């Protein structure tokens, strides 16, 4: 699902299930703020946990010596942090139920 598809689904869900109209631009702004806030938190090294969905954390990858696949030459790869998502129990169970059907 892309961000625009998410915006469309949320707009449709709020418009069809309530008496108030939700404008797509408001939903888009909300998603933008959410993603930006999560990105800033991870950049600061903070952990993000969304109950029932999962958690985002950073994995540390130490510096190492790698190889250039074309030339076979040794290359120093610097240390880095990579975002890591761990699905929550509810999400894992729902995905497994859907996959088994």
Domain boundaries, the chain: 1-46, 56-101
pLDDT of residue 15: 79
Query: What is the pTM assigned to this prediction?
Result: 0.77
CATH classification number, 56-101, choose in 3.30.360.10, 3.40.50.2300, 4.10.520.10, 3.40.50.1450: 4.10.520.10
Q: How is the beta sheet containing 54-61 ordered, strand by strand?
A: 48-50, 54-61, 80-87
27 CB neighbour count, 10 Å cutoff? 20
Chain segment 48-75, per-residue pLDDT in tens? 999 999 999 999 999 999 999 999 999 9
Chain segment 23-35, per-residue pLDDT in tens? 889 999 999 999 9
7 CB neighbour count, 10 Å cutoff? 19
């Amino acid at each position: 699902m892309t961000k625009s598809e998410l915006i469309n689904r949320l707009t449709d869900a709020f418009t069809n299930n309530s008496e108030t109209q939700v404008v797509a631009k408001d939903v888009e702004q909300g998603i933008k703020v959410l993603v930006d806030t999560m990105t800033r938190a991870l950049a600061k090294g903070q952990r993000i946990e969304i109950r029932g969905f999962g958690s985002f954390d950073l994995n540390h990858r130490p510096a190492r010596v790698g190889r250039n696949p074309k030339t076979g030459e040794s290359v120093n790869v610097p240390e880095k942090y990579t975002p890591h998502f761990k699905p929550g129990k509810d999400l894992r169970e729902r995905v497994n139920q859907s996959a088994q059907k």
